[in-house]
Structure 1
Amino acid sequence: MTVLNPAASRYAGTRVPRVEDPRLLTGHGSFVDDVVRPGMLHAAFVRSPLARARITAVDATEALALDGVHAVFFAEDLNPDVREQWYTLIGRDVPDNPRPPLAEGEVKFAGDPVAMVVATDRYLAEDAAELVVVDYDPLPPVVDYATAVQSGESVHSGWPDNVAGELNGRPPEDLAEVFDQAAHVVETTIRQQACAPVPMETRGLVVEWSAPEGELTVWASTQSPHEVRLFCSRLLGLPEHSVRVIMRDTGGGFGQKVVPMREDMCVLLAARKLPAAVKWIEDRRENLLSAGQSRHGHGDVRLAFDETGAILAAHIGYVEDVGAYPTPWPVQNAAAVGMLFPGPYRVPQASFTCKTVFSNTTGRSAYRGPWQFESVTRELLLDRAARRLGVDAIELRRRNLLRQDEMPYFNPNGMPYSDVTPLETFEHALKLLDYDKFRREQAQAREAGRYLGVGTCTYIEPTAAGLGLHSTEGATIRIEPSGKINVYVSGGSTGNSLETTTVQLTADALGADIADVHTIQGDTAITPFGGGTGGSRSGSMIAGAVEETASALRERIIAIAAHRMEVAPEDIELERSRARVRGVPSEGLPLAEIAAMAYFQVDALPPGVPAGLEASARYRARVPIVWANATHVCVCEVDIVTGEVKIRRHIVSEDCGPMINPDVVEGQIAGGTVQGIGGALYEHLAYDEDGNPVATTFMDYLLPTTTEVPEIEYGHVETPSGGPGGYKGVGEGGAIGATPAVLNAVADALTPFGVEITDLPLSPAAIVALIEKGEA
């Protein structure tokens, strides 16, 4: 492993116990549903039972007659109050689709919110919602996105062909000659099912309007409190300083909670019309019904090879289902699929087309590793190519994977790779597996009638992209008169341990004992503006913000200590919350004494040093994109009678740069890997031909459990990035690499049957059908 300046850090790089754990593991966390306000009201939604229909009449008379019901809001009550509803993450001027808070005139999917009922408690609100009468005139729904363009029906009148947006790279015709003359061309169509992020805590918020002050306070389950504040101020036409967003503990987000959605808009708009705070907590059925789908799409993919197996060219034609109301802009992530499709391979030329299509299903939302499809298709195609060329799949990758010494490298779509180790993580993961030994075991197992397989996925991912909302991050550090340290950052921690990593980084930056450091996050009234979590940005950006802020304080501390001890500033070192003379451990001042001087003995401070020990600064991303990479290796066994897949081993060799906290890194990898396994074998947010959702409970939407997931094995290759501390993001990679590794492992196990995988998920029934097809 490459370790960056090991002597410079006492805490970064170590397995410091998570500072969040004492409260979370003892049940003392504070989530949105724990918030109680005086006289608080509760909201529930009336949702459409149909995928597409005109709303011909509504009647809330019976609901309003119930004692304790305060209001029933329809589109005409809330929608006209919308001022602006664009997301900072995307920008004001990007073409976007309509997104009315409540359905106007026509419902667009089963689960579309038609009305919002507000009552004294949630149970009463739900009872009243059942009494709201809505008459519908059914319309033909557009359910299959793949045929939506030619359906003759429109999800939105402004998009008659249902194409939400397109973004294309180099035209595929430019590469026609390369493909025509290549020694080998492998092509197929891969179809991926719709999945849902399924955070442990569903969406929710509490909104309280104070008319005398003209201030709105929002307690939100979110990944980005400052984004919620900006969105709310625009939505309601309020100045930013009149909106306060408080994010306490949040039980997972995975992209679903990056920006406010339509139900959030309804609660925000209704708050100023109500006499008390209003709370909405989504139940699990609502979450699966209307909080958004992800992944759903298909791609026509081609790879051209020369006679040695070197890749000559790549093409992907990607089409993605974005449902009725995608959030946010639907084109962005589809374009990333095309731009990243060559992945971490040496590909001279590439082309891509990307199209996003509306359908009468729940809208597309962000989900961990939203460009995962490019890795799924590429890695499946590489294994197919290896079988076609008669080459071991591992050897084919070795011939084409990029190496560390080839960096920087521009992929054929212009993406600027840097500081990555695709071949190195690949070899590291195979060493952990002992690939040759596995192949011997596989052969022996087949002789005994057991079918083992191995699959890999090597990917590269952009993290901490220095663009727009995500390009800067702020921090404020205040050393109190007692010498204790408070560090304020935006936050957005949704289980990704930002508290722990912030404390570690600050303790190192100031030479403090970690027990003396505390962090305050998630309150827009007291924390500096920040982009929140998303895009695997937090580790790198918070490291930069802490570094920028702490450097000014460190200079001030050293100046005070040097002046007091009558030595040169360069002779002072900070360690264990003390300033001491270098080489003379007995000579030193505790940080508490220095802080007391800074606040209470200002006349004794050296010339030019201001009173107090508090600083604020902003970090601006040093590089456009911080790149991370990894290799997943999966070993599975397939029961050819039942179609059951048992994962025997799952290895991840990750290069996310120096690790701030290996426990946190491995936790992030593990969580993403489990989600990737679910996407390969279990999860499917399915609809029937009429647009009715058929997976709105965990009886139907299957998730992997501890029974199905093996103990994940970790390997680390640490290559510093050009960002602060050399850190890279690690939040999304597990969810990217696991799915194709599992799929390839199943295909490898079933090689004797000629199985080729083109459709996800690989349910037991699907596997049995593939085997029977191969035997036919």
Structure 2
Amino acid sequence: MPPIAAARYAGTRVPRVEDLRLLTGHGTFVDDVVRPGMLHAHFVRSPMARARILQIDASEALALDGVHAVFTAADLNADVVDHWYSIIGRHVPDTPRPPLADGEVRFVGDPVALVVAVDRYVAEDAAEHVFVDYDPLEPLVDYEAAAGSDDRVHADYPGNIAGELGGRPAEELAGIFAGAPHVVDQTLYQQAYAAVPMETRGLVVEYSAPTGEMTIWASTQSPHEVRLFCSRTLGMPEHKVRVVMRDTGGGFGQKTVPQREDMCLMIAARKVPVAIKWIEDRQENLASAGQGRHEHGTARMAFDDEGRILAASIDHVQDAGAYPVPWPVQTAAVVGILYPGPYRVPAATFTCRSVFSNTTARAPYRGPWQYESLAREVLLDTAARRMNIDPVELRRRNLLRRDEMPMANPNGMPYSDVTPLETFEHALEILDYDAFRREQAAARAEGRYLGVGTCSYIEPTTSGHGFLGTEGATIRIEPSGAVNVYVSGGSSGNSLETTAVQLAADALGVDIEDVNTIQGDTAVTPFGGGTGGSRSGSMIAGAVAQTAAVLRERILAIAAHKLEAAVEDLELAHGVAGVKGAPGAGISLAEIADIAYFNTAQLPPGVQAGLEASGRYQAQSMMIWANATHVCTCEVDPVTGAVTILRYIVSEDCGPMINPNVVEGQIAGGTVQGIGGALYEHAAYDADGNPLTTTFMDYLLPTSTEVPIIEYGHVETPGPGEGGYKGVGEGGAIGAPPAVVNAVADALTPFGAEITRLPLSPASIVALIDGTGA
């Protein structure tokens, strides 16, 4: 292996290379794409949660000036050839996914027809003139009531069960629970809430009939997934589909895979002569783009007299909505598998069940298995109170340590390279836990109610299997010596551009100003899994390293030949291959490129022309694990129910950090989403299945006024991948809700309140204090 220049950029707070473009308003989002003669699309959506479609009359809409077409299920649905997702695989027992509602609508917002017109305004007006004759049916809005019902959301799913899985038989643990000195169980309900990306969903699709080619400009986290999905849906050759992803204003899982509206645009594009654009408005996004988190479970733990965990179980049920994307049972199973968390649990089991309802689809949302941490961490605090043990002390007795790794949790998940106890202690040290307890006691004497809550979790990142298990990169050094790095993309605010540039600059020993990255265009970038599963940083690191190694070898071979020096005596730095210890004895990358491209007679024997290489990285393990502890302190006003967060601390072990600014930005974004889920956000429905929170007047998001200053601590344990890098994208959203809930519960301890439902709105807190809340 040729010598590698010492890292100069990885591990440093390099400013994001994309910020100048984005902060000055020069980004290119889907709505910025304009094509010649482009038409605009708008969906006619069901106003009912459940009804038969008796007739659709689009004649008045078609008579309006500027209306090009109105498509219904009869026009689009039969064109679907296949529609499985790469991230799940073709053989899973997937759930229904028709492009348009066919015969029956199953939630308010269900797309019934697609209007195509000269602009969005005409399309929206025309949608008002598409008359749909509905025969109302009784909706199954409550997923708990839907489970086991003889009435079915989908006729082929008895009891409305989309799927269920489980661990070892509960009878095998019955003796442990029966003989344990302490057994604590708790049922906790988590409300539905939404990803709410700043940029809603959108597509521009253009089909060329003469060439049989389709180009899609997409707001997506995975351009190659969109390409594959389109190819399957339409039965088109993959090389005839091109997906272009420029800037994407957030995804948070919602844009991981194409949904039904995307299918409609893909199919309709072959039926019109020009490109079609669809941009979702905020009301559509909140009503129809999918929900996360809506679930409940009964968590149970057995303890010995010293508070050590003897066994754990969870029975988990989640709302799948009407048309979940993708198959929801897989992430439900992860809830059960990960429920033991970062604790020393000798025995465990679980059940999980996904239930259809007449509400919007369950869709991926940052850390989709998050409920395991919520249930476990809230239960641990409840157990500590019941056993009269400080919740911090209870965790200290049970948290796994670095020196116990590797090990497998009782459900068979192989943990390695994590530091649960160490990050826990680090976070408490930042807080000064004992000092806070003294402050809390003094405040209570004054009639003020302060609380502290923690959450420790272990998180799977960077799956080593299937579609997500490999990542490619192409690096081309131009004749000028500038470096272009091509990776698949999926950057939606997570700084993959900066990551690729930092890593490539170090790998090739060049200045960061001389490196550029090209991402998001499937016509020129290597195949890759995009953003999801906290995989991007470690996988890009591996792909860049694999590819750069090939180029380094060629660069140094050319330089050694030109300088008449041994390869092992050379080093790469600042775009120059120089002789170690001999300042001035070197050759620039531009000069090496000149030889490689234009003066190939000067190449050493056996070295090929050009300075371009492609490589593919295979993840080095089934999973790379990260872990963290969140600590929240708050004050609760017992009269108004208002919660004020006082301090918020995260100690994270995501391995060495490529860019600490980016890592902390990812932690902050997820943490704020988690705080929103604990205290504010709620995608609520009424008894008839009408969504009640389809504007920001009703759907409450945390603003800068409510967001605390987040304090960061870092413990760095290298993982098994390239550079030791782990994932960090989802952890904040996992750790924040339990920490906030536990802090509120701790503040309410004098009132004997026990939290069983989220969100913790002021009204619900007052009801808990009054003894009237659930």
SS of equivalent to 2:531: coil
2 CA distance for matches of 1:37 and 1:507? 36
Aligned partner of 1:209 among 188, 194, 207: 207
For structure 1, which runs of at least 5 residues remain unmatched after alignment? none
Tell me the CA shift for residue 741 of structure 1: 0.2
SS of equivalent to 1:198: coil
SS of equivalent to 2:189: strand
1:559-574 map, 5 Å = 559-574=557-572
2:326 is equivalent to residue 323 of structure 1? no
**Residue matched to 2:235:** 237
Give yes or no for contact 2:4–2:571 (8 Å, CA) kept in 1: no
Tell me the CA shift for residue 124 of structure 1: 0.5
Residue type at the aligned position of 2:675: I
Seen in structure 2, the aligned counterparts of structure 1 residues 29 and 511 have a Cα distance that, compared at 3 Å, is same
Q: What is the aligned-residue identity percentage?
A: 75
SS of equivalent to 1:400: coil
**Residue matched to 1:104:** 102
Tell me the CA shift for residue 152 of structure 1: 2.3
Residue type at the aligned position of 1:497: S
Give yes or no for contact 1:426–1:653 (8 Å, CA) kept in 2: yes
Residue type at the aligned position of 1:517: V
| Superimposed CA distance per residue, residues 621-675 of structure 1 (whole angstroms, 9 cap, x where no aligned partner) | 1111000000000010000000000101100000000000000000000000000
Seen in structure 2, the aligned counterparts of structure 1 residues 280 and 719 have a Cα distance that, compared at 3 Å, is same
2 CA distance for matches of 1:382 and 1:108? 39
2 CA distance for matches of 1:91 and 1:589? 49
Aligned partner of 2:582 among 567, 581, 584: 584
Aligned partner of 1:595 among 582, 593, 614: 593
| Superimposed CA distance per residue, residues 368-419 of structure 1 (whole angstroms, 9 cap, x where no aligned partner) | 0101100001000000011011110000000000000000010000000000
Give yes or no for contact 2:16–2:495 (8 Å, CA) kept in 1: yes
Aligned partner of 1:114 among 112, 115, 136: 112
Tell me the CA shift for residue 188 of structure 1: 1.0
Aligned partner of 2:431 among 433, 439, 443: 433
**Residue matched to 1:607:** 605
1:713-732 map, 5 Å = 713-732=711-730
Tell me the CA shift for residue 496 of structure 1: 0.2
SS of equivalent to 1:194: coil
Residue type at the aligned position of 1:329: W
2 CA distance for matches of 1:692 and 1:587? 74
2 CA distance for matches of 1:440 and 1:98? 56
1 CA distance for matches of 2:509 and 2:533? 30
2 CA distance for matches of 1:6 and 1:683? 49
Give yes or no for contact 2:5–2:573 (8 Å, CA) kept in 1: no
1 CA distance for matches of 2:148 and 2:554? 68
Give yes or no for contact 1:140–1:153 (8 Å, CA) kept in 2: no
**Residue matched to 1:39:** 37
Residue type at the aligned position of 1:194: A
2 CA distance for matches of 1:660 and 1:493? 16
SS of equivalent to 2:325: coil
**Residue matched to 2:172:** 174
Aligned partner of 1:624 among 622, 625, 629: 622
Tell me the CA shift for residue 775 of structure 1: 11
| Superimposed CA distance per residue, residues 278-324 of structure 1 (whole angstroms, 9 cap, x where no aligned partner) | 00000000001100011011101100000110000000000000000
Give yes or no for contact 2:60–2:129 (8 Å, CA) kept in 1: yes
2 CA distance for matches of 1:63 and 1:614? 54
**Residue matched to 1:48:** 46
SS of equivalent to 2:271: coil
Aligned partner of 1:278 among 272, 276, 279: 276
SS of equivalent to 2:12: coil
SS of equivalent to 1:385: helix
Aligned partner of 2:409 among 401, 408, 411: 411
Give yes or no for contact 1:753–1:774 (8 Å, CA) kept in 2: no
Aligned partner of 2:752 among 745, 751, 754: 754
SS of equivalent to 1:476: strand
| Superimposed CA distance per residue, residues 228-256 of structure 1 (whole angstroms, 9 cap, x where no aligned partner) | 00000011111000000000000000000
Give yes or no for contact 2:654–2:726 (8 Å, CA) kept in 1: yes
2 CA distance for matches of 1:439 and 1:31? 49
Tell me the CA shift for residue 8 of structure 1: 2.8
Give yes or no for contact 2:538–2:722 (8 Å, CA) kept in 1: yes
**Residue matched to 1:771:** 769
Tell me the CA shift for residue 150 of structure 1: 3.3
2 CA distance for matches of 1:774 and 1:400? 34
2:378 is equivalent to residue 380 of structure 1? yes
**Residue matched to 1:420:** 418
| Superimposed CA distance per residue, residues 709-734 of structure 1 (whole angstroms, 9 cap, x where no aligned partner) | 11111000010001010000000000
Please list every run of at least 4 consecutive aligned residues from structure 1 whose deviation after the TM superposition is greater than 3 angstroms. none
2 CA distance for matches of 1:712 and 1:480? 42
Give yes or no for contact 1:467–1:624 (8 Å, CA) kept in 2: yes
Tell me the CA shift for residue 584 of structure 1: 1.2
Tell me the CA shift for residue 700 of structure 1: 1.0
1:28-427 map, 5 Å = 28-427=26-425
**Residue matched to 2:685:** 687
2 CA distance for matches of 1:488 and 1:317? 45
Give yes or no for contact 2:67–2:126 (8 Å, CA) kept in 1: yes
2 CA distance for matches of 1:7 and 1:514? 14
SS of equivalent to 2:617: strand
2 CA distance for matches of 1:658 and 1:213? 48
Tell me the CA shift for residue 160 of structure 1: 2.4
SS of equivalent to 1:161: helix
**Residue matched to 2:15:** 17
| Superimposed CA distance per residue, residues 186-208 of structure 1 (whole angstroms, 9 cap, x where no aligned partner) | 00111100011110000000000
Residue type at the aligned position of 1:163: I
Tell me the CA shift for residue 223 of structure 1: 0.2
Residue type at the aligned position of 1:386: A
Cα RMSD after superposing both structures: 1.1
- How high is the TM-score relative to the length of structure 2? 0.99
Give yes or no for contact 1:141–1:153 (8 Å, CA) kept in 2: no
| Superimposed CA distance per residue, residues 130-158 of structure 1 (whole angstroms, 9 cap, x where no aligned partner) | 11000100111111101112332100000
Tell me the CA shift for residue 93 of structure 1: 1.1
**Residue matched to 1:484:** 482
1 CA distance for matches of 2:561 and 2:26? 45
Residue type at the aligned position of 1:443: A
2 CA distance for matches of 1:6 and 1:716? 27
2 CA distance for matches of 1:298 and 1:523? 40
Residue type at the aligned position of 1:668: Q
Give yes or no for contact 1:190–1:377 (8 Å, CA) kept in 2: yes
SS of equivalent to 1:37: coil
Residue type at the aligned position of 1:260: P
2 CA distance for matches of 1:252 and 1:726? 27
Residue type at the aligned position of 1:9: A
SS of equivalent to 2:657: coil
Aligned residue pairs, count: 772
For structure 2, which runs of at least 5 residues remain unmatched after alignment? none
SS of equivalent to 2:314: strand
765-774 or 214-223: bigger deviation: 765-774
**Residue matched to 1:513:** 511
Give yes or no for contact 2:423–2:629 (8 Å, CA) kept in 1: yes
1:457-536 map, 5 Å = 457-536=455-534
2 CA distance for matches of 1:266 and 1:150? 32
Give yes or no for contact 1:755–1:774 (8 Å, CA) kept in 2: no
Residue type at the aligned position of 1:496: N
